[in-house]
Chains A and B, each alone.
Chain A
Amino acid sequence: MVRGRCVRIRTHPIIDFPKRKQLSFCFQKKRLVGEEGDTIASALHAAGIRTLTTSLKYDNPRGFFCGIGKCSSCLMRVNGIPNVRICIAPLKEGICVEMQDKLARLPVAEFFGEPTKTLDFDVLVVGAGPAGLCAALESASRNAPVLLVDENQCLGGQLVKQTHKFFGSREERAGTRGIDIAKDLECELHRLQREGKIQVMTDATVIGYYESKNRHRFGVVKRCEYKSRLYDVRCKAVILACGAMENMLLFPGNDLPGVYGAGAVQTLMNVYGVKPGDRVLMVGAGNVGLIVSYQLLQAGIMVDRVVEAAPVIGGYHVHAAKLRRCGVPIFTSHSIKEVYGDEKVEGAIVVKLDEQWKPVKGSEEDVPCDTICLAVGLTPSTRLLSQIGVDLEFIPEAGGYVALHDESMQTSVRGVYVAGDASGIEEASTAMIEGKIAGLAAAMQLGRIRKKNLLVQYQNQLSQLRAGPFGEKPRIAKEKIAKHVEIGHV
């Protein structure tokens, strides 16, 4: 087990990290202390614990990778319940956290404390990130009652870690930081909540789609401190805004604790105020890699370099320029060959690539570091869509398999909508507009309102944002997606 020094961020140029109440908990029969607002994973990381699980076959130590509940590298037993994703499980006073056997034993404790409860809504929105929040606000304010479900303890999805200012125009809140947009959207949500137009369920997972007549029907598990509750949710329309997951890259040592998705590191430092490490190698110079590198510097963490396999920087030049003038080099046509270290990352070998993207012999360089961030793209989260049975297609420009959908974001199954990264990888500004389109279209389909002009206005806004060279990939993706969709009936 690796134990480090205290890694809490106390001063930050953008985020306030006030001293919070200490919570004590038990890990492997030892007392540890975390802070209120922590997840179990952030508390363990701050306590210097980086090995969370071991690999199934070779017992390799593993840390968390995605940090947002999408992968399975942080599963632990919490108060006797196995397979808890500790990266999204809130830390509570007195809980007992244990590393689990490879295949977890069935818990002794009963899962569900209360009988199943049935809920009926016009619209179910899955995911409270930028797309889901905007979808829920749009439907609810058009007189379609909404249930909004999210796996995390707080709303906002990945907006809550985006400390940079957004691009776009006034309509997309350009110049405002993602974290502030999240707060504003939440404020708006609370207003509609008070008016009884929207119900919010956090710490809850939609676990499956079930048979029902004239309705869509889902099982939702709401996690409570000791026992969970199962909800039988029926709705006329559903908007799936489940986001995306960061891609892994193949190289020896890619599962060592200390190899993270760039977004995981962004979550750890910007949401929980915990430093991922002291010296970082960033892999990927798209906007995510560039932005997270800059935010690492803002948190007082050294970024050794950014390597990018492509011959050009993929992200905006302005993001690259911010890094360069802080002295961080960006090596294009370079990639990571391997990561080494005993139970944790101690360094990496980077290598130059030739025009055929093949490693150049003798160009290997040893880069000592304790953290590797992978910013090599995202894959849409489509599992629930797939289970519902909507038509999916592999579209490289969208980041993988995506649900085919029309311009109103409706999939091949009537009443099933998709929005944001789950509908094809893009960014938060367009995700918010897609959410509005889906929310409005759902309310229109249910006959709650007629606003064809507004729908067209939102669609025009989207095309404007995608009109430039950086919008080419999503533009191609969305054209393919809309061309192939055929909408059937429930």
Chain B
Amino acid sequence: MCEYEKTGVLSITDLQLPTGKQLEKGVAILECVEEIPCNPCVESCPVHAISMKDINAPPVNDFERCIGCTKCIGICPGLAIFVVKVKGEKARVTLPYEFVPAPKVGNVVKALDRIGVVRGEGLVTKVVKQGKTLVVTIEIDGKYAMDIRNIRV
């Protein structure tokens, strides 16, 4: 039994991880590890970086190909894709958000980790609407790049 089956929380070792260099470029982290019948991320990828063996296999991202365009974030039915880009001491995390009120560029929001604990603040740098899902980019302290996965406005 994996720990996340009990807790609902992935640990970093459950994930396919990019190199430091790939993180600097900005890539999509696919937090989707189970075999579920679903493939919109594969179809949405403009550079064919995301692939899966069959519709039930977990998606795999080719970080060399991935351009961090964020198109897969708003289409993922599981809201399980995040784009992370590290720049010096800072990191930019782009995540899906489906709550009111909507964050606006320039807002300072609470930055939450995978168990909803506030780990610091984030500056909203970009908000894009993909249907009713908001794709929000925040700038945070770089050391939390692989921890921050939610915001509170």
Contacts and interface: CB of A to CB of B under 8 A. Distances in A.
Interface of A: 11-14, 164-170, 174-175, 177, 285, 297-298, 300, 311-313, 316-328, 330, 332, 429, 464-471
A317 B150 contact: no
Given A12-B100, A317-B34, A468 B77 contact: no
B37 A168 contact: yes
Contacts of A297: 99
Interface string B6-18: 1111100000000
Give the dominant DSSP class at B's interface: loop
A164 B99 contact: no
A318 B149 CA distance: 13
B8 A313 contact: yes
B79 interface: yes
B116 A13 contact: no
A14 B98 CA distance: 7
Nearest to A322: B79
Contacts of A318: 31-32, 34, 36, 77-80
Contact of A464 (B10, B34, B37, B75): B37
Contact of B77 (A167, A330, A470): A167
Nearest to A430: B37
Given A318-B80, A321-B31, A168 B8 contact: no
Given A324-B7, A326-B116, A327-B115, A13 B98 contact: yes
Contacts of A169: 37-40, 43, 55
Interface residues of B, number: 46
A468 B73 CA distance: 23
25 contacts: A13-B132, A165-B76, A168-B38, A169-B37, A174-B77, A177-B132, A297-B99, A298-B99, A300-B100, A311-B1, A312-B1, A312-B5, A316-B78, A317-B8, A318-B79, A321-B31, A322-B79, A325-B149, A326-B150, A429-B37, A467-B37, A469-B35, A470-B37, A471-B37, A471-B56
B60 to A, nearest CB: 16
Nearest to B114: A325
Contacts of A468: 35-37, 56
B113 interface: yes
A326 B43 CA distance: 28
Interface in B75-114: 75-80, 98-102, 112-114
B117 A330 contact: no
A467 B77 contact: no
A325 B55 contact: no
Interface in B128-153: 131-134, 149-150
A435 to B, nearest CB: 18
B100 A321 contact: no
Most buried by B among A312, A324, A467: A324
B55 A316 contact: no
A325 B10 contact: no
B33 interface: yes
Contacts of A322: 78-79
A66 B127 CA distance: 38
B97 to A, nearest CB: 8
Nearest to A471: B37
B64 to A, nearest CB: 25
Contact of B35 (A166, A298, A470): A470
Contacts of A317: 4-5, 8, 10, 32-34
Interface in B49-71: 54-56
B100 A11 contact: yes
A313 B6 contact: yes
B144 to A, nearest CB: 13
Contacts of B8: 285, 313, 317, 320-321, 323-324, 330
Nearest to B148: A325
A56 to B, nearest CB: 41
